[in-house]
A and B are shown apart, each in its own frame.
Chain A
Amino acid sequence: MERHIASIREQFPILKTQVNGKPLVYLDNAASTQKPTRVVNAIAQYYNTSHSNVHRGVHSLSQKATQLFEEAREAVRAHLNAASSDEIIFTKGCTDAINTVASGYERLLKKGDEVLISHLEHHSNIVPWQMACERSGASLKIIPMNHKGELEWSASLLSSRTKIVAVNHVSNALGTINPIQQIIADAHAVSAAVLIDGAQATPHFSVDVQTLDADFYTFSGHKVYGPTGIGVLYGKRSFLEMLPPYQGGGDMIKTVTFSKTTYAPIPFKFEAGTPNMAGAIGLHEALNFMSDIGLENIASYENQLLQYANEELSRIPGIRFIGTAENKASVLSFLVEGAHPYDVGVLLDQMGIAVRTGHHCTQPIMDYFEIPGTVRASFGMYNTMEEVDQLVRGVMRSASMLV
């Protein structure tokens, strides 16, 4: 893969940008990845040649748009190895997908029921469940973590009261890959459902929802080199059929009278209103792009980047890694002793290096480590070893100015 990086980078015009007069080093991929030209072109092509509203018109353009939209659904099904494309719901993002499930559960949960989430969650997999619990009277329980940023999983956290477990596949703040296979198996033993937030896993390696046996799996388009405003909710057929609809509107109904509405079958029950067709088509192209490169190639190359960055950054005096789990995706969170992460981020930006600083929408993790935030470098398939070197030099330079 290493010898193909130059040609991969060619496909991302934005990587040639200058920032503050320096060539951009983009290491904020966990927040959002950049888009290859073919994704941008697919969206333009759709609008220029095939756009119309879907699932409605008998006219040819509407048929064409519908066909492209449904082909995108099939592509997502294949990507996740779901049993049926009916189990793939297009949402406006990963957060929206989680909210779809949480708001449905809000109506199914009763006082005394429990929802289990983890200490490692992004706010988007905490707040929807807090809201569901507040309104239903259910209680929220937390899977604890250790000082390495690993979950301290134990089946004893589950009971017959546990109705759903919601955990991320990979932590956005620390990069920890969680033992979801075990969590799913244990949860199913007490008949609890499991939602996996896959926003940080899908950009890095392949996911098979049937092997995992996840009941719900969510991810976001813009983190897998696709457009913003599109996300995916996978749900097993029986779960999606049982779950009440999220929003009401067009496209999600079978019949409407003023006294009663019957809902369309899945997936349409959860897709009220005109869907984001261009987004779905862009996502389709992005998934094709990733498959063409090869998910295994991406995973092993990014792992090399991570190992190299780990080794090189370790040489910096006063560096402290936050999140040192054994099993990690290509996300590195760290602090330099005596320097606030915000200051490091500002100085790196002056050198053209884009990292994320702050709490990464995971305040409970920051509270655990008693820190205001971290500097987070997250790698994508187009990053290079030279960029890691630039990061290391940048952090050393920042430290010498700040400390």
Chain B
Amino acid sequence: MTIQEIQSEIEEEFGFFDDWMDKYEHLIGLGKDLPLIDPQFKTEEHIIKGCQSQVWLHAELEDGKLFYTADSDAIITKGVISLLIRSFNAQTPDAILEASTDFIDRIGLKDHLSPTRANGLVSMVKQMKFYALAFKAQKQNT
């Protein structure tokens, strides 16, 4: 599936909830189910500090595709991370660099990707793209 297809699928899933509590319960569930990041990557080097919550992010390239793992100390932040990872995982650096994250707005979670929330997510999206750019450059150089 392309990033766009995955994001449409997420939008459809969230379309079932007409009540904010159901939506957040789903998000919290996703946060709790987020696969654990390898403890060796939960270091200062991988941390993205927000004022409210913090995020750890790691990326690896396998057969030309990117695989992210991440964690946060806040569970709702983790839920949003899980959506971002699901839409970007197993995609090529080029596809990730071109992708948008507008689907987060469309499922009514816009506030969580706003710099005013200071939860580390805005920087995390930047960092995800930065990994894509770095892997792309690495590939071109080899």
Cβ–Cβ contact B28 & A402, under 8 A: yes
User: How far apart are B124's CB and chain A's nearest CB, in angstroms?
Assistant: 14
Given the interface contacts A358-B51, A358-B52, A401-B25, does A346 sit within 8 Å of B73 by beta carbon?
Answer: no
Give chain B interface residues in 2-30, CB to chain A under 8 Å.
20-21, 24-25, 28
Question: Is B75's CB within 8 Å of the partner chain A?
Answer: yes
Question: Is B76's CB within 8 Å of the partner chain A?
Answer: yes
Cβ–Cβ contact A342 & B20, under 8 A: no
Question: Is B74's CB within 8 Å of the partner chain A?
Answer: yes
User: How far apart are B24's CB and chain A's nearest CB, in angstroms?
Assistant: 6
Cβ–Cβ contact A342 & B52, under 8 A: yes
Separation of A233 and B52 alpha carbons in the complex (Å): 31
**B50 (CB) vs chain A CBs: closest residue:** A342
Q: Which residues of the other chain, B, contact A342 by a CB distance below 8 angstroms?
A: 52-53, 74, 76-77, 119
Cβ–Cβ contact B28 & A340, under 8 A: no
Question: Is A20's CB within 8 Å of the partner chain B?
Answer: yes
Q: Which residues of the other chain, B, contact A359 by a CB distance below 8 angstroms?
A: 51
Separation of A341 and B21 alpha carbons in the complex (Å): 18
Separation of A347 and B20 alpha carbons in the complex (Å): 9
Given the interface contacts A357-B52, A358-B51, A402-B28, does A343 sit within 8 Å of B20 by beta carbon?
Answer: no
Cβ–Cβ contact B74 & A340, under 8 A: yes
Given the interface contacts A401-B24, A401-B28, does A340 sit within 8 Å of B51 by beta carbon?
Answer: no
**B31 (CB) vs chain A CBs: closest residue:** A343
Cβ–Cβ contact A350 & B53, under 8 A: no
Size bracket of the B interface: 10 to 19
Cβ–Cβ contact A372 & B20, under 8 A: no
Question: Is A373's CB within 8 Å of the partner chain B?
Answer: yes
User: How far apart are A358's CB and chain B's nearest CB, in angstroms?
Assistant: 5
Give chain B interface residues in 61-95, CB to chain A under 8 Å.
73-77
Separation of A24 and B76 alpha carbons in the complex (Å): 22
Q: Which residues of the other chain, B, contact A20 by a CB distance below 8 angstroms?
A: 20
Cβ–Cβ contact B24 & A347, under 8 A: yes
Q: Which residues of the other chain, A, contact B74 by a CB distance below 8 angstroms?
A: 340, 342-343
Separation of A343 and B119 alpha carbons in the complex (Å): 10
Separation of A350 and B25 alpha carbons in the complex (Å): 12
Which of B21, B25, B54, B75 touches A343 (beta carbons < 8 Å)? B75
Q: Which residues of the other chain, A, contact B112 by a CB distance below 8 angstroms?
A: 346
Give chain A interface residues in 340-373, CB to chain B under 8 Å.
340-343, 345-347, 350, 357-359, 372-373
Q: In the complex, which of the residues A342, A358, A359 has the most CB atoms of chain B within 10 Å of its own CB atom?
A: A342
User: How far apart are A349's CB and chain B's nearest CB, in angstroms?
Assistant: 8
Cβ–Cβ contact A372 & B73, under 8 A: yes
Q: Which residues of the other chain, A, contact B53 by a CB distance below 8 angstroms?
A: 340, 342, 372
Separation of A208 and B21 alpha carbons in the complex (Å): 48
Which of B20, B28, B73 touches A350 (beta carbons < 8 Å)? B20
Q: Which residues of the other chain, A, contact B77 by a CB distance below 8 angstroms?
A: 342-343
- Mark A309-327 against chain B: 1 for CB-CB distance below 8 A, else 0: 0000000000000000000
Separation of A190 and B74 alpha carbons in the complex (Å): 48
Which of A346, A372, A373 touches B76 (beta carbons < 8 Å)? A346
User: How far apart are B60's CB and chain A's nearest CB, in angstroms?
Assistant: 27
Give chain A interface residues in 72-125, CB to chain B under 8 Å.
none
Q: Which residues of the other chain, B, contact A401 by a CB distance below 8 angstroms?
A: 21, 24-25, 28
Q: In the complex, which of the residues A343, A345, A357 has the most CB atoms of chain B within 10 Å of its own CB atom?
A: A343
**A345 (CB) vs chain B CBs: closest residue:** B52
Separation of A340 and B19 alpha carbons in the complex (Å): 23
Give chain A interface residues in 219-246, CB to chain B under 8 Å.
none
User: How far apart are A56's CB and chain B's nearest CB, in angstroms?
Assistant: 40
Q: Which residues of the other chain, A, contact B54 by a CB distance below 8 angstroms?
A: 372
Cβ–Cβ contact A340 & B75, under 8 A: yes
Separation of A340 and B32 alpha carbons in the complex (Å): 13
Separation of A401 and B21 alpha carbons in the complex (Å): 9
Q: In the complex, which of the residues B54, B73, B119 has the most CB atoms of chain A within 10 Å of its own CB atom?
A: B73
**B118 (CB) vs chain A CBs: closest residue:** A358
Separation of A372 and B24 alpha carbons in the complex (Å): 22
Q: Which residues of the other chain, B, contact A341 by a CB distance below 8 angstroms?
A: 52
Separation of A14 and B119 alpha carbons in the complex (Å): 27
B residues near A, CB below 8 A?
20-21, 24-25, 28, 51-54, 73-77, 112, 118-119
7 new A-B pairs (CB below 8 Å) besides A20-B20, A340-B75, A346-B24? A339-B75, A343-B77, A347-B24, A358-B118, A359-B51, A401-B24, A401-B28
| Those 3 A-B pairs whose CB atoms lie nearest each other, nearest first | A340-B74, A342-B74, A342-B52
Between-chain CB contacts (< 8 Å), 6 pairs: A20-B20, A340-B75, A345-B52, A372-B54, A372-B73, A401-B24
